[in-house]
């Protein structure tokens, strides 16, 4: 068992640091609070005996838990290096400034209110998982900010795992590499991670949502810009000349089918949405996001957008409209399927923690998307948070604790399977 107060105190300490990511910043990390949090986590990792701790200039925190397998053990030197990842930043879309966590011990199943926002509340009808948390310690923010359990719960779980291995040397494991990355929420962090420096053979991101979850599939994520060039002229004498680019771009948005917007979609339905709309008379632009499990749907969405462009060019002959879309991340299922053991061992670890594992297809992306396509097979396991990226975000301390237990067991499973000769097929050791 962990020291409840220590783990809880660490988590509360982490969420109070503003690490909100910022789009389109020239530097990494995109917000200075991420480096502030990194320095705090470094001290916690040092206390756990983590070695080779390094904080890079661009905000990647790395560390090592050395293997404790004896030299006379058949698995000595043969266990794949297992990596665990989480991220410092919180969502760019919701404030992370001045987070004031609310701790509700022994939750009784009643409506949860937020002390700084009387307009929102949380019920078991709002989130069915609350019903499973009666008696738990529930943590929310105050109603003015997100909580930041995504993914500071993951950081807390990894730090707790480190303490457990320090306190329980009888639990055999191979070499473990830890990395906590910046700017995951804006799809930058894992894409720029130096995998050679990380040095893992297999990896697990600790950034999944709820108890028992193992993510085995993600959206394909695309991001683009739609820009319009209009014609500026003095409005009083603008007849036949003036063309307002902001009006044209607003028309573009109005022609995007409602059925594909996030508020109307679920399960395996694809989505699109708009962000960062800005416009003047002569020029206007917006950022557009496309998400789908299947690349065929992405191509269909691109065709729909081009059809909108052609429709508007017929209506506004003087306009110039440009659409540029590129991939941010891809569905990692097909890479992950190359080695079933990545998921199988995670399921074993979840069961050892007394939890029922369930495979999930996430309607979003995570660092495993980038890692798999960069050649490091990885999947995502639960950290323990709900209603992320919102003012209602909440977590259960007991679920974070289970996350720590699962990843501790996961490192042990890899060692035990190696001792049994069941090594990961794609790994070759010299």
Strand-strand pairing, 283-292 and 378-382: unpaired
Tokens describing residue 238: 């603008």
DSSP state of 386: B
Q: Both tokens of residue 107?
A: 């939750």
- Cα angle 357-361-362, degrees, rounded to a multiple of 5: 110
> DSSP secondary structure string, 10-50?
HHHHHHTS--B--TT-SSSSSSTHHHHHHHHHHHHHHHTT-
Q: At what angle do helices 4-15 and 33-47 cross, to 10 degrees?
A: 160
CA angle, residues 259, 260, 262, in degrees to nearest 5: 105
CA-to-CA distance for 177 and 48, rounded, in angstroms?
A: 14
Q: Using the 8-state DSSP alphabet, how is residue 260 labeled?
A: G
Q: Side-chain half-sphere of 238: how many Cα atoms within 13 Å?
A: 12
Alpha-carbon torsion, ordered 314, 317, 319, 321, to 10 deg: 30
Does the annotation count 184 as an active-site position?
yes
Burial class (CB in 10 A: 0-12, 13-18, 19+), 125: exposed
d(CA 33, CA 23): 15
DSSP state of 385: -
Euclidean distance between CA atoms 155 and 163, whole angstroms: 13
User: Could you give the count of Cα atoms lying within 13 Å of 95 in the half-sphere of its Cβ?
Assistant: 10
Q: How far is CA 27 from CA 59, 188, 196, 251, 330, in A?
A: 10, 11, 22, 34, 24
Shortest CA distance to 118 belongs to which of 391, 321, 303? Answer: 391
Neighbour-count burial of 168, counting CB atoms closer than 10 A to its CB (0-12 exposed, 13-18 middle, 19+ buried): exposed
Q: Which of 89, 150, 207, 335 is catalytic?
A: 89
The label of the residue with tokens 């695309």 reads 222
Q: Which residue out of 160, 184, 185, 217 is catalytically annotated?
A: 184
Catalytic positions:
89, 184
């Amino acid at each position: 068992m962990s020291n409840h107060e220590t783990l809880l105190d660490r988590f509360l300490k982490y969420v109070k640091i503003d690490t909100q990511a910022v789009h389109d910043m020239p530097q990494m990390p995109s917000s200075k609070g991420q480096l502030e949090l990194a320095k705090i986590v470094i001290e916690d990792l040092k206390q756990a005996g983590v070695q080779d701790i390094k904080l890079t200039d661009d905000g990647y925190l790395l560390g090592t838990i050395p293997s404790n397998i004896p030299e006379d053990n058949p698995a000595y030197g043969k266990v794949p290096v297992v990596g665990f990842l989480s991220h410092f930043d919180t969502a760019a879309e919701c404030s992370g400034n001045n987070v004031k966590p609310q701790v509700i011990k022994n939750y009784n199943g009643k409506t949860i209110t937020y002390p700084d926002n009387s307009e929102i509340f949380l019920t078991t009808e709002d989130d069915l998982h609350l019903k499973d948390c009666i008696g738990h310690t529930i943590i929310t923010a105050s109603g003015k900010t997100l909580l930041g359990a995504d993914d500071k719960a993951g950081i807390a779980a990894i730090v707790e795992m480190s303490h457990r291995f320090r306190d329980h040397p009888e639990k055999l494991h191979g070499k473990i590499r830890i990395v906590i990355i910046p700017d995951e929420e804006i799809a930058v962090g894992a894409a720029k991670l130096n995998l050679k420096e990380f040095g893992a053979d297999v990896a697990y991101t600790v950034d999944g949502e709820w108890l028992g979850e193992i993510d085995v599939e993600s959206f394909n994520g695309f991001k683009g810009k739609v820009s319009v060039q209009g014609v500026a002229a003095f409005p009083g004498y603008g007849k036949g000349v003036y063309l307002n680019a902001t009006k044209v771009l607003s028309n573009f948005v109005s022609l995007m089918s409602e059925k594909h917007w996030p508020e109307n979609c679920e399960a395996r339905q694809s989505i699109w949405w708009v962000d960062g709309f800005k416009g003047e008379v002569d020029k206007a632009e917006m950022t557009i996001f496309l998400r789908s499990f299947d690349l065929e749907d992405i191509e269909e969405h691109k065709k729909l957008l081009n059809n909108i462009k052609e429709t508007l060019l017929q209506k506004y002959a003087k306009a110039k409209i440009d659409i540029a879309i590129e991939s941010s991340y891809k569905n990692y299922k097909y890479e992950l399927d190359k080695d079933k053991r990545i998921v199988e061992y995670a399921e074993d670890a979840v069961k050892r923690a007394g939890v029922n594992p369930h495979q999930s297809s996430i309607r979003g992306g995570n660092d495993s998307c980038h890692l798999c396509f960069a050649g490091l097979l990885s999947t995502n396991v639960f950290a323990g948070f709900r209603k992320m990226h919102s003012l209602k975000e909440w977590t259960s301390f007991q679920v974070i604790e289970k996350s720590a237990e699962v990843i501790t067991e996961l490192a042990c499973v890899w060692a035990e399977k190696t001792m049994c000769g069941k090594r990961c097929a794609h790994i070759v050791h010299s």
